[in-house]
Amino acid sequence: MTQQHPFLALTDSDRDEMLGMIGVGAVDELFGDLPDSVRLGRELDLEPALSEQELFAHVAALAERNADASSEVSFLGAGMYDHYVPAVVDAILQRGELLTAYTPYQPEMSQGVLQAIFEYQTAICELTGMDVSNASGYDGTSVAADAFYVAKHATGRSKIVVTEATNPQVRQVVKTYAAGFGLEVVEAPQRDGTTDPDELERVAADAAAVIFQQPNFFGCLEPAPDLVSVAADAGALPIAHVDLLSLGVLEAPGRYGAALALGEGQAAGNFPSFGGPHYGFLAARSEFIRRMPGRIVGETVDTAGERGYVLTLQTREQHIRREKATSNITTNQTLLALGGLVYLTWLGPQGLRELGETCLSLAAYAKQRLAERAGIESVFSTQTTFKEFAVRVGRNAREVVAAARERGVHPGYALGRDYEGMDDVLLVAVTERRTPEEIDRLADVLAEVCG
């Protein structure tokens, strides 16, 4: 006889009683509405069920076949970063009451997650200088597409501009979405590592929105206020794609006039986890509040006059507005956004500024050491960079990556994967987790493999 499955509870006598109550003789009769032609009629062709112990052994063996940031010294960034995630994040996210709840449709059952989202929205607004934040989007790519949907409806225009120095994954995803939205996507070129406002002006006419990344994909600081002015003068919504962890040292997008600010939240409180799950954040000026996609939590009172929180402005959303909704998003990334809130609370304003300064200093140190020890120079040497910078390595960067990895160091991202003429360019990311000793080791390894 088959052993009872650990995730089931019914005994044979339970089953008999229940079938009796229903008034059928066997479980199979419950499926009487299924025509024979659509029935599988055989067992699923899957490997037999594993016990927990067997499962652990199997999956742990798979995990061990990966080279992660604990097994090699990694300078890989390009949108995902190896920042430290403190233990308090794990502890809070593993609270079953938060982990195993769903969207707080019934607010009296869900004040914990609702208040947390309200606090998260506040943190995102503080960091970005915006008035309203949603409860999260899927990631840093899909929130850009969400913002374009806002811009399309806010302006009635059908062209969007994305700078070439914006993360290639973001550009690819917005192009996919644009096919459905009926939007044309135009790129504004980069010159010497940043976007030239004059060149942006040439393509921004009649655009619904202009999106740029700050710091950009090469790690360089864009002339963000100038790009915003160009977009605004053209009647396009200026949208800033930003790194939350830069916003202790870099100006808030709201302060230089961006209409929306968004980005990938992974760096702030989530593990890289081979690409997800993470959270995309999306914030806007108050005039766009009723065009925002996704969940928004608002403050209210209960019948006793006590403060409480609820999902609000739901007439924007798919379950009410259906085909006229501002987005189809339902399930979002609440738990990961909660991780972001816990992390940002852990950092606090001082920690955030110190983290930004440490990244700036370590990256400056790395540039210096690569030049001194390996004769490797920055590609965009006149630009200010944050935690990431591009260097020319004198040979195919993908080969450099492979050779360096054999020596236990992942030296960065080969930019030739996305940019023409950059086959010999490596994008090096330096977070606070990389010590000066590890940076020295990178320089030595690169001296060896590039020489």
**Residues from 46 through 75 that contact other proteins (CB under 8 A):** 46-52, 55-56, 58-72, 74
> Which amino acid type is present at position 350?
Q
- Residue by residue, DSSP assigns 361-410 as HHHHHHHHHHHHHH--EETTTTS-BSSEEEEE-SS-HHHHHHHHHTTTEE
Cα separation, 269 vs 169, whole angstroms: 21
Report 186-215 residues binding other proteins (CB under 8 A). none
> Which amino acid type is present at position 336?
L
Q: Is 226 helix (H, G, I), strand (E, B) or coil?
A: helix
**328 near other proteins, rule: CB under 8 A:** yes
Element (H, E) at 176: helix 168-181
CB 266, min distance to other proteins, A = 9
Report 99-118 residues binding other proteins (CB under 8 A). 99-113, 115-118
> Which amino acid type is present at position 361?
S
Binding segment (CB under 8 A) for other proteins, from list 86-94, 187-195, 197-205, 370-378:
86-94
Binding segment (CB under 8 A) for other proteins, from list 88-96, 194-202, 204-212, 234-242:
88-96
Q: What are the distances in angstroms from CA 265 to CA 228, 256, 302?
A: 22, 21, 33
Start-to-end CA span in the chain (Å) = 67
**403 near other proteins, rule: CB under 8 A:** no
**318 near other proteins, rule: CB under 8 A:** yes
**349 near other proteins, rule: CB under 8 A:** yes
CB 444, min distance to other proteins, A = 18
**385 near other proteins, rule: CB under 8 A:** yes
Report 120-159 residues binding other proteins (CB under 8 A). 121-123, 125-127, 131-133, 135-136, 138-142, 149
CB 195, min distance to other proteins, A = 14
Q: Is 261 helix (H, G, I), strand (E, B) or coil?
A: strand
- Residue by residue, DSSP assigns 416-433 as GGTSTT-TTEEEEE--TT
CB 223 within 8 A of CB 330: no
Q: Out of 154, 186, 289, 403, name the contact with other proteins by CB under 8 A.
A: 289
Cα separation, 271 vs 277, whole angstroms: 9
Cis before 107? omega within 30:
no
| Closer residue to other proteins (CB): 309 or 424 | 309
**175 near other proteins, rule: CB under 8 A:** yes
- Residue by residue, DSSP assigns 273-293 as GGG-S--EEEEE-GGGGGG--
**418 near other proteins, rule: CB under 8 A:** no
| Closer residue to other proteins (CB): 210 or 336 | 336
| Closer residue to other proteins (CB): 235 or 436 | 436
CB 424, min distance to other proteins, A = 18
Report 224-283 residues binding other proteins (CB under 8 A). 224-225, 247-252, 256, 264, 271-278
DSSP single-letter state for residue 74 = E
| Closer residue to other proteins (CB): 119 or 444 | 119
Cα separation, 276 vs 74, whole angstroms: 18
Binding segment (CB under 8 A) for other proteins, from list 192-200, 222-230, 231-239, 370-378:
222-230
**381 near other proteins, rule: CB under 8 A:** no
Q: Out of 1, 12, 156, 306, name the contact with other proteins by CB under 8 A.
A: 306
**355 near other proteins, rule: CB under 8 A:** yes
Cα separation, 119 vs 111, whole angstroms: 12
